[in-house]
Structure 1
């Protein structure tokens, strides 16, 4: 999982509403409703440790460790945020997570469910007075404590599994999860077949270490890489296409595709790049690669590299497997859509012709492949994409996707509420109001680092040699070495900022920690900040540089502590003159 600092802004669209788990297509998107997921796997998956967006697995999911879902990176493309109703972790089979499952959003399971103690889900607020009761109903579990209830954390609710594993059973919300994945697979397969029928309109230059894809279509540029018979992808991929256009790469490899290069694609074009593995049954990542772009391979098993790697884009796979020691991740660069294929494939431009009183029919089959003006009787499209109903199983006109459906009559005892998740392995640090602090010394800036001046290089004087008329002539002399300028090292510390993170406890149990920052003046401690972090998280304080500070990390509930308890703290920036940790 990325060790980044997380933020709280809320958006919709990452995940699907828990009270409307039904599949529908989205025009121009091969991922359909799965565009709301970072990754959708139709079979089994295992050992994924971090998914920045949402995740859906149609089969079983197993992990010997924990997994975080829905936490955007500091420099991520989208700010995910809390939501009252969006599902961001959904499994159609059995779920077994031996470590904590931490999700910013709802969790839905359709089979047996096991997650370690410390599993936590963060649910946004919708303003309804009965939302807490609704969440209690959704996450009630057999054998759970009678004192359990969702915790109100100010701007969100916290669903904790401190007693028994908790999740929303599919039958509790009357969701046909099996039918959802069946319809999703049929739709994605149909759109994939449609893309495979698109004509190639770009060229590929084969260089020593990369394939350069060149196209000039302002809408979409289609390329085809044939890696048969061995399926070896041994070079990088770089596209030179018009700004804003799509890059569609059709890869033909045979049953096994072997990714043997460290970088595939470019970050700047990641959300407009689509890799379609046409015939691969297995995709092997044989280097810990960075794949920038979306992957469409609903028929294939993806084998992650044993030491890690990541895919930045929307992903649809048949199944996923990776070594238990890997740190495989999926980053949220959702595919923008807008693919034109099937009956909506781009047609050759037909020039406008003046109307004629009596048009004479002309045989349509005599049209050449290049666009020419035709009588208005029967403009014939290019022979490549035949005019026919779209190959996707559902009609092209789809019900408009709704980010969060309006309040609907719900069959549950309580009124329908639309909870939505926003995963953060820790509730966002929340500053608490404090008594006015005693005055601290006036803020001063951190002493500026000055670089020594570079000594001047001595000049050479020209030697005058007598000629009939004396003329100054420079004579080559022994080279004079200029003094070496001293290096000026960059200051890596940001003044006035105290920034660090807590990564749990030595006892491996879940604790809440109180983070307190004091200023010290004349042997008096003055409390400046106080934040509470659940299990693990980061803190950041801005203070004057020229003062003395004490940072205390204490358990919020000392009754749960034991002799082996000790917080794991890392300090990433100490930009003050005097600092002490206790």
Structure 2
């Protein structure tokens, strides 16, 4: 039975332990792996929490604990207790120093090690022999002879208070190596098909965001080419018809660098697919919130050292993150429905064999006379060829004229004067500043600063807390400052002001809602365009 659910319900997470088999699903790039929050074909480590199920083709290693399948709200809304669903499937070895807590079964193809206190919660199916079946599945060498699953009312608890317990793959006849090989082959084929799609949506590029706008009611395809450096440093915002899906194809080269904290939004998470066409490494360089699924079956994903999340399915070559990171996968399964079909190549029909006329049989009593073919006339002889004419003698080439002597190398540097305002103390006053124009000569060159624009970004705070920031701009007038305008900026945000070039300005950056007990709170600020004659920073 599909998904092995004996109670008739289909879970949103995991596969049945009695049918760990790969199945393709029409229009679904992740195939049956869409029932896993993430599938990693190589090694993975150090993840602290996954809201759905998790599959690792090789080894999983962690110096701490790991929880799976509690659902996005922690109330099992998207997962639930299941009598048969495997929520943690590992092709080879599991090695953890902390406890493993899973709402579902744990299956591994190799060895298993986890701390005492590891617990798996298994749903009830109403059969009288379910406890004995669970004891057979989780039998462990050197385990207590008095061990048995604990009855928790609406589920059973498999505890590892005496020895580590799990289900060896060979105990249930599961060929996990074949499962991951077939999964990789299927997902890679779908990945190649998707990266061959043509864009039918428009990418509108602004200074801090990209608006991805499409009008196809079924499928909107966008292509973002970030080669050669692979830097993705802008917010992604979608404008697509309700009910349609969005496919974003990234062309980054070997290394992709995620440097902005927000992609997509929650309401579109299960209808958004991010496809990395050619990346071998994906670096999450900020604790980003990625709403949507990631298809990168040949890439290694490097999670951010402090946190971040991917809300959707993910198919990755391998996964690595710092042991102190709070990185998570959230359960927003991709809806599928991708239109990506490679037309079948139909060979041309073979040429028909020449038809041979079948002679009409002659009755034995009648002999048909044989007519002789008429003789062909002799062809007329060809006329004699005219004699060949000799080729004319080639005319000698004229002698080339000598090149004129090169003029001496004289590199001319042009200088242009422009006034620079320099503060000079005013007689009789200690604080008043006047400005005097002096002429300075500089080499003529292309100006890369946009005049009249003050543009910068805030990347965090020295106190390591997340703040909103108020960026205020003042105009300095003699001994006072005049307020012009301000902007509210979030964590990893940018600001921009347009003002006249010739005045003197002060920029004030203050964290909003800063705790009183934190004194060394200093924002990390980058100014990318200072298009005014005088600017000072006030903190």
The alignment's TM-score, normalised by the length of structure 2, stands at 0.62
Mapping of residues 30-429 of structure 1, within 5 Å:
30-74=29-73, 78-343=77-342, 386-388=343-345
The one-character-per-residue Cα deviations of 1:249-281 (angstroms, maximum 9, x if unpaired) are: 000000000000011111110000000000000
Q: 1:198 to 1:86 in 2, by over 3 A?
A: same
Mapping of residues 458-473 of structure 1, within 5 Å:
none
Aligned partners of 1:276 and 1:297 also within 8 Å: yes
What SS does structure 1 have at the residue aligned with 2:20?
coil
What SS does structure 1 have at the residue aligned with 2:177?
helix
Moved over 4 A (4+): 75-78, 386-389
Q: State how far apart, in whole Å, the 1-side matches of 2:80 and 2:88 are.
A: 15
Aligned partners of 1:41 and 1:57 also within 8 Å: yes
The alpha-carbon deviation at position 79 of structure 1 amounts to 2.5
Aligned partners of 2:46 and 2:64 also within 8 Å: yes
What SS does structure 2 have at the residue aligned with 1:186?
helix
Aligned partners of 1:11 and 1:80 also within 8 Å: no
What SS does structure 1 have at the residue aligned with 2:144?
coil
Aligned partners of 1:342 and 1:388 also within 8 Å: no
What SS does structure 1 have at the residue aligned with 2:237?
strand
The one-character-per-residue Cα deviations of 1:55-94 (angstroms, maximum 9, x if unpaired) are: 0000100010000000013288952110000000011011
The one-character-per-residue Cα deviations of 1:541-581 (angstroms, maximum 9, x if unpaired) are: xxxxxxxxxxxxxxxxxxxxxxxxxxxxxxxxxxxxxxxxx
The alpha-carbon deviation at position 39 of structure 1 amounts to 0.5
Q: 1:151 to 1:388 in 2, by over 3 A?
A: farther
Match of 2:392 in 1: none
Q: State how far apart, in whole Å, the 2-side matches of 1:326 and 1:152 are.
A: 35
Q: 1:84 to 1:77 in 2, by over 3 A?
A: closer
Please say which structure displays the higher CA radius of gyration. 2
From the two aligned structures, give the one with the greater strand fraction: 2
Q: State how far apart, in whole Å, the 2-side matches of 1:335 and 1:77 are.
A: 19
What SS does structure 1 have at the residue aligned with 2:22?
coil
Q: State how far apart, in whole Å, the 2-side matches of 1:76 and 1:133 are.
A: 28
- 5+ residue gaps in structure 1? 1-9, 344-385, 390-582
- 5+ residue gaps in structure 2? 1-8, 347-539
What SS does structure 2 have at the residue aligned with 1:342?
coil
The alpha-carbon deviation at position 154 of structure 1 amounts to 1.0
User: Per chain length, whose mean CA-contact separation is higher, i.e. which structure has more relative contact order (CA < 8 Å, sep 6+)?
Assistant: 1
Q: State how far apart, in whole Å, the 2-side matches of 1:188 and 1:217 are.
A: 25
The alpha-carbon deviation at position 47 of structure 1 amounts to 0.3
Mapping of residues 500-515 of structure 1, within 5 Å:
none
Q: 1:93 to 1:134 in 2, by over 3 A?
A: same
Match of 2:486 in 1: none
In the comparison of the two structures, how many residue pairs are matched? 338
Q: State how far apart, in whole Å, the 2-side matches of 1:211 and 1:195 are.
A: 21
Aligned partners of 1:77 and 1:333 also within 8 Å: no
What SS does structure 2 have at the residue aligned with 1:276?
strand
Q: State how far apart, in whole Å, the 1-side matches of 2:19 and 2:48 are.
A: 27
1:22 aligns with 2:14: no
What SS does structure 1 have at the residue aligned with 2:247?
strand
The alpha-carbon deviation at position 13 of structure 1 amounts to 3.5
Q: State how far apart, in whole Å, the 1-side matches of 2:315 and 2:300 are.
A: 10
Q: State how far apart, in whole Å, the 2-side matches of 1:342 and 1:76 are.
A: 39
Q: State how far apart, in whole Å, the 2-side matches of 1:270 and 1:284 are.
A: 21
Q: 1:139 to 1:77 in 2, by over 3 A?
A: closer
Aligned partners of 1:76 and 1:332 also within 8 Å: no
CA RMSD of aligned residues (A): 1.4
The alpha-carbon deviation at position 12 of structure 1 amounts to 1.4
Q: 1:76 to 1:102 in 2, by over 3 A?
A: closer
Q: 1:78 to 1:28 in 2, by over 3 A?
A: farther
Aligned partners of 1:53 and 1:72 also within 8 Å: yes
Q: State how far apart, in whole Å, the 2-side matches of 1:308 and 1:153 are.
A: 34
Aligned partners of 1:82 and 1:124 also within 8 Å: yes
1:12 aligns with 2:22: no
Q: State how far apart, in whole Å, the 1-side matches of 2:273 and 2:18 are.
A: 31
The one-character-per-residue Cα deviations of 1:431-472 (angstroms, maximum 9, x if unpaired) are: xxxxxxxxxxxxxxxxxxxxxxxxxxxxxxxxxxxxxxxxxx
Mapping of residues 388-537 of structure 1, within 5 Å:
388=345
Aligned partners of 2:12 and 2:78 also within 8 Å: no
Q: State how far apart, in whole Å, the 2-side matches of 1:75 and 1:202 are.
A: 37
Q: State how far apart, in whole Å, the 2-side matches of 1:305 and 1:200 are.
A: 30
